[in-house]
Amino acid sequence: MDYKQLASIILGNVGGKENVSQVVHCATRLRFRLRDESLAKTEVLKSTKGVLSVINAGGQYQIVIGPDVPQVYQEIVALGGFESQAQVPEDDEPAKQQSKISALLEGIASIFQPIIPAITGAGLLKALMALFVVMKILDNSSQTYKLLNAFADAAFYFLPILLGASAARRFKCNQFVAMALGGILVYPAFITMVNEAKAAGEAIHFFGLPVTLASYTSSVIPIILGVWFMSIVEHYVSKISPKAIKFFTVPLASLLIAGTATLVVLGPLGTWVGNLIAAFFKWLDATAGWAVPTLVGILSPLMVMTGTHYGLIPIGVNNLATTGFDTVVGPGMLASNVAQGAAGFAVAMRSKNSDTKELATSAGLTGVLGITEPILYGINLRFVYPLIGAMIGGGVGGLFLGIFGVRRYASGSPGLLVLPAYIGGESMTNFYMACVGTVIAMVVSFIATFILFGIYEKQGKLDAAETGKTARKTVAEPAEPIAPHTDDEIVAVVNGEFIPASQIQDEAFAQEVLGQTVAIVPTDGVIVSPANGTIDVLHESGHAFSVIMADGTELLVHIGIDTIQMQGNGFHVLKKAGDVVKAGEPVVEVDLDAVKKAGYSTQTMLIVTDTPDEKQIPYREFGPVTRGSTIGSVK
């Protein structure tokens, strides 16, 4: 993959660098904040090689790339000159077109996401320690064990400090003052004072105000509420303080006022809310423990698509912090993620298209390891039937995990790599059940998808056969043998009217954003190779294919505008990726009447997406052409 070229195409189609106020990336996606989202060309991006999907959710314009996203991101940063934009000014952010619930979920998730690596590493270390003790490799009374326990407990014990730093970034206030606020909640002297007051049955007062005798180590909600209030205080005091003394008045007021409010009001309120949430799920676990993992296993793909999965993150973290384990979020999402990956493996085994096989295999692997966006958007959602199979497998696996009350003792991206997080309790039974549930989810998903995708392929072949017969009835087959052409010649891909890019009915093609572009308005449906070469990419739907010539020039043929929406109906593919073809050799047959009936333009584009010297191709004059006739040359 040419990361620089892909980055250039993406940047151009999100409206240019001037339209980008911020760009970041996660494990699989580029996440843009655009000043004007109407300038983004979503359909062009969706059809771009290297882009799996485009999603506009949570106030972000998200482009799903897959595992290569860090490399593409670096090229985006270099091309756009975004290196210095460490933080976007508040008045530079675009207006978010999102609901209040979506904004709330995004806000909560953005606070928890930065600290997940720390609690994941600590949690998995805890799980490995439990495994080593069971295997008699580690003695739980040894000094080594106690020091390792400190490594594993530190992230959770000082969770208010970690969350304080993360929340400060979200609420746009001083990060280090927020960390100090979190430090107050876990300060040893304060903890000792609370414990002594509890033991003596006494109360604690601060400036005459009662302080609730609560423990804030490993707590979640109190510090978030505290930093939120601190941000209000900081912004207000900063506004009214004289510039000469602002340096010390703002942090002093922030720490003193927000600290008091947190100890007296917000901390107890947050503790009550956290305990209430934990009690609810404890009750749910006792009365219908199977229900939630089953529903999460079924619905997780849909929640990821809508962004509502963000709401599960704090629930899982809160459960781990308050009860030491999670039976709600982790098990259900584990079943869902591995089921989605297994669905990809089934597609890879069943599909006869080499590109689909390759993508399904690689994306399926990332899916079972816990990163589902590539398989979700690249395969499962695209073909629908694998998504159904994955939801079936996720539901059955989640039901098993729920019935046996499988618990997650540490956080992490739900997948095979975090199975050690299920080691805990008095025996290894919980871990074994987690493994069994994982296998069940994968096997059921694989079988269901294998069967359903088989139905899809049979239906697709039937459609192709029917449309192929129609095309052959209405299209004149070449009566003459294919005329020989030199390796530098480019030929007309179909009979019709040869037109310049300016007459193309799609703005992106007309502006030649993918490369030098011309088009033909076809009079029949036999689409041939534009040159001697090798078919590099041939979309399974048949609406587009690319040919690489001997000198490395890459030509893209796009049949119709937005015809990807037809999902292959009306298209009959004659070749496959990797085939060596001659200029003028038929590659695809299309039923033009079916395209017109579906409401799409039949204009067929020929795009030069890459040349060794980035040179322009000289074409003959525009007008009527015959397929296989020379229209240009790469000399």
Tell me the catalytic residues.
26, 558
Supply 580's token pair. Answer: 């060596």
Please tell me the distance from the alpha carbon of residue 414 to that of residue 549, in angstroms, as a whole number. 44
Give the full edge-to-edge strand order of the sheet including 623-625. 580-581, 533-538, 544-548, 554-559, 604-610, 516-522, 496-500, 623-625
Distances from the Cα of 434 to the Cα of 275, 327, 422, 428, angstroms: 26, 11, 7, 10
Is residue 532 within 8 A of residue 550, CB to CB? The reply is yes
Bridge partners of residue 546, in order along the sequence: 537, 556
Alpha helices, DSSP H only, in 407-428? none
How many Cα atoms occupy the beta-carbon half-sphere of 484 within 13 Å? 1
Is residue 256 within 8 A of residue 174, CB to CB? The reply is no
Q: Name residue 270's amino acid.
A: G
Residue 434 φ then ψ, to 5°: -65, -40
N- to C-terminal Cα distance for the chain?
Answer: 26
Is 216 exposed, middle or buried, given 0-12, 13-18 or 19+ CB atoms closer than 10 A? buried
Q: What does R_g of the chain's alpha carbons equal in angstroms?
A: 30
DSSP-based three-state secondary structure for 527: strand
Q: How many CB atoms within 10 Å of residue 84?
A: 5
**H-run or E-run covering 631:** strand 630-633
Supply 368's token pair. Answer: 């079972």
